[in-house]
Amino acid sequence: MFRFPSVLLSRRLHRRELSSSTTSHPPSLPLSHPIYLIWGSNTGVGKTLVSAGIAAAFLLSSPTPSQFHYLKPLQTGFPSDSDSRFVFNKLRQLSLIRNPHIPLSASHRVINLSPAVTASNPLAGEEGVGPPPELLCKTLYAWEEAVSPHLAAEREGLVVKDSVVLETLGECLEDVAECGAGKERSEVLCVVETAGGVASPGPSGSLQCDLYRPFRIPAVLVGDGRLGGISGTISAYESLKLRGYDVVAVVFEDHGLLNEGPLMSYMRNKVPVLVLPPIPKDPLNDLMEWFESSHYIFSNLKEIMLSAYFERIKKLHDMPREARDIIWWPFTQHKLVPDGGVTVIDSRCGENFSIFKVQKTEVIAPQFDACASWWTQGPDAIMQTELAREMGYAAARFGHVMFPENVHEPALNCAELLLQGVGKGWASRTYFSDNGSTAIEIALKMAFRKFSVDHGLIVHCHEDTTNERSTELMVLALQRSYHGDTLGAMEAQAPSSYTGFLQQPWYTGRGLFLDPPSVFMHNSTWNVSIPEGYHLESLKGKSITFASPDEIFHKGRDKSELATVYSSYISKVLSGFRGSNNVGALIMEPVIQGAGGMHMVDPLFQRVLVNECRSRKIPVIFDEVFTGFWRLGVETAVELIHCVPDIACFGKLLTGGIIPLAVTLATNAVFDSFIGDSKVF
C-alpha cells in the first residue's frame, strides 16, 4: 500500500521566559549509561532514602571509580527541604564511615529558583574534593512553599511549561552522558527522583506520570509498607504500566504488616519486591546505622537495575536482526531493505515515535510519525493515555464477547455515536469488523444484496441456492482507486500495481472503471483537469478554474454546464457497457483518492455519479476508511460532496490506531434487504 515516507536550560530563567518557551522536538534519552526514574506510591514513602541507598551501594562498594548522578527535577519547600542536598550530605557521611582515608568527591547544584526563595543563593553549589566528582546532585527547579509544584509555581511566579521541564531534564541527561564519556556502562548510574506520588501534579498541573512520559525512563517504584499501602502501591504501579513505563523493582519500608506477600502475589514474580528495614523515627538519628543495615537490599536493587539496563541494550541491538529472520512485513520488498534499514521503535508518545538510534552513542530519539497522517494521526499524548485507560477498562470488564445476538455497553455506545456523527441523516445500522478491507468486503456484500432484491434477482425461499449463479455482478468504480488488500476488495478496484499478477494472481477487475476529473492548484488558482473522452464542445476554449476550494465544493455547481457534461459522459459509458445491467454497486473514495496518489476528484463529478446511480437503483458505497473522522476538515466527506451513500466504511481513526476496528454503516433499506425467514437469506 502507498505510504508517506517517515519523515537545556542550565541558568535561572524569569517567569515570562519559562512560561513562553516551547520545544519543537522532545529531547532524546541517552543510553550510554543506565538512567532510572524513582517514583513514589505517595508522598512521604522514602523516595530520597532509596535514592541515597542506591547511590551508596553504587559508589561505596565499587572496586573501580564510579560516578552517580542524582537529579531532582521539582523541589518544593526549598531551601529548608532539599532532597538533592540530603543525598549529597548522607553520601559524604557514609563515605567517611566506610572509607575515611578516601573522601568522596561530590558536587551539589540548584539550577532554577523561584523569586520567593531567599537571597541565600546556592547556585554556586557545594563542591566536594577532587574533580571529576563521583557524586553529582542537582535540583532543576525549586520553590519555597512546601505544597504541590503546580500551586507553588502559581504562587511564587516560577511557572514552567512541561516542554521546558523536559528540555531542562534532557540537558542534564546529556551532561550525564558527557561526564561518563570514556567510562564503562556499569561505571555510571543516574536516578531522577520525582516529587510526591505517581499522579502528583507538576508545575503546569500535568500529572508527573504524563509529564515525564516522552522519555519513558525505566522506573523503580517506592511502595508503601503502611496500612493501606498495598492498595496505594498497586494503584501507582498500574498508573505507570498504563502509560507504558517499565517498572524494574518495587521497594518499600517494612512496617510489620507483611505487605510484601500480597504485592508479590499480584506481581506474579514479574517484578522483584524488596523490603527495607524500619526507618528510625528519631529526627536526631543520622540514619547511618539504617543505611548500613540496608546495604544488602540496596546492593540487590542496584544489581537489578544494572541487569535490566544491559538486557534492554542487548534487546534493542538484537531486534533488527531477529526481525529480519522471522517477520514478513506487509508492503515491503525484503531484498531491498538494507542493513541498518530496520527501525526499532521503543514506544510512541503523541505524534512521535521513540526510536533506537546508534549515533556517537546509543539514544532513544523522537521521530515524527508522518505515516500517521495516512493512518491514525489524531490522538495527542494525553488522549493516548485516555484511550489506553478506556480500552483497559473495556478489556477488563468484558474480555472477549461473541457478538451475534449479544449486546454490551461499549458497542452500543459506539454505534449510537457513529449514527449521530458520520452517519447522521442517512445511516441506521452499524456493522463492526476488524479492519478497513473487511469493512469493504462487507459493504460489497450488502450492496449486491440490495441490488439483487431491487432488480428481482433473488427469489425469497428457504432453499440454499448459493451454488446457482445466474448473474455476474460488477462494480462501478474509479481509476486510481484503492479499497484494501483482501481478494474481494482488490476485485473492486481498477488495475494498478496493487493488483498485478505478482501481487494478486486471481485478479480480474470485476468492474467498470471511470477516469474521473481531478482538481489541482497551480499559481494559487484551483483548476479542474478533464480526462480525454468527455464531450466538452460547449466548454471548448474556456478555462475551468476557481478562486477557492469553497467554490469547488459549492452545491450551486449542479446547474453548471460542466454538470451536464459529466452526466452525459457517465450515462453514455454506462449505456455502452455490455454488462451495465449487472453493475451492482458504485464504490468510491469521496474527494481524495489516497493510495492512488492523493488525487482530489472533482466533487461535482462524484455527486453527479451518485445521482446517476440512484436513478438506476445502483447502491452507493463511500469508502471513508481514509477520509473519515475529520481527515478532510469535516467529520465526513458527505458534508463536502453534498450527497449521501447507502453504505459507508470507516476505520483507522475509529480507535486512534490502538486496536484494529472498522465499521460499515448502512441505511435501513440495505438492512431490510437481508430480512427473511431463513438464515440462508
- Ranked by mean pLDDT, which of 375-384, 503-512, 638-647 comes out on top? 638-647
Q: Residues 194-231: pLDDT tens digits? A: 999 999 999 999 999 999 999 999 999 999 999 999 99
Would the pLDDT of 127 be above 50? Answer: no
Q: CA-CA distance, 67 to 85, in Å (whole number)?
A: 17
Per-residue pLDDT of 478-493, as tens digits, reads 999 999 989 999 999 9
Contacts for 74 with CB less than 8 Å, ≥ 6 apart: 140, 141, 149, 165, 194, 195, 202, 203, 208
Give residue 8's pLDDT band: very low, low, confident or very high (50, 70, 90).
very low
Q: Tell me: the pLDDT tens digits for 415-444?
A: 999 999 999 999 999 999 999 999 999 999
Ranges 3-7, 323-327, 429-433, 438-442: which has the least confidence: 3-7
Fold of 39-317: Rossmann fold (3.40.50)
Q: What is the pTM of this model?
A: 0.86
Name the average pLDDT for the chain: 88
Give the confidence band of 25 by pLDDT, cuts at 50, 70, 90: low
For the domain made up of 424-458+471-670, give the CATH fold.
Aspartate Aminotransferase; domain 2 (3.40.640)
Q: Cα separation of 620 and 660, whole Å?
A: 25
DSSP, residue by residue, 58-91: HHSS-SS--EEEEEEEEE-STTTS-HHHHHHHHH
Average pLDDT over residues 41-50: 96
Q: Is the pLDDT of residue 4 over 60?
A: no
Average pLDDT over residues 343-352: 91
Determine the average pLDDT of the residues in 143-152: 96
Cα angle 25, 26, 31 (rounded to 5 degrees) comes to: 125
Strand, helix or coil for residue 432: strand
Amino acid 14: pLDDT: 36
For 581-600, b/e burial (b = at least 16 CB within 10 A) is ebbbbbbbbbbbbbbbeebb
Confidence of residue 534 (pLDDT cuts 50, 70, 90): confident
Residue 379 has pLDDT above 80, yes or no: no
| Whole-number Å distance between alpha carbons of 159 and 19 | 6
**Is 540's pLDDT higher than 70?**
no
Give the mean model confidence (pLDDT) for residues 306-311. Answer: 98
Give the C-alpha separation, 455 to 449, whole Å.
Answer: 10
Check pLDDT > 80 for residue 43. yes
Tell me: the pLDDT tens digits for 660-674? 899 999 999 999 999
Residues of the chain with pLDDT > 90, as a percent, come to 69
Q: What is the pLDDT of residue 533?
A: 80
For the chain, helix, strand, coil in percent to 5 are 35, 20, 45
Continuous H helices in 161-273: 162-179, 208-211, 229-242, 260-267
Quote the pLDDT of residue 3.
30
- The pLDDT-based confidence of 17 (bands split at 50, 70, 90) is very low
**pLDDT tens-digit series, residues 573-632:** 998 887 667 999 999 999 999 888 889 999 999 999 999 999 999 999 999 999 999 889
Q: Indicate if the pLDDT at residue 541 is higher than 70.
A: no
| DSSP 8-state assignment for residue 427 | -
pLDDT at 85: 97
Judged against a pLDDT cut of 70, whether residue 131 lies above it is answered with no
Q: What is the pLDDT of residue 121?
A: 52
Q: Where are the domains of the chain?
A: 39-317, 424-458+471-670
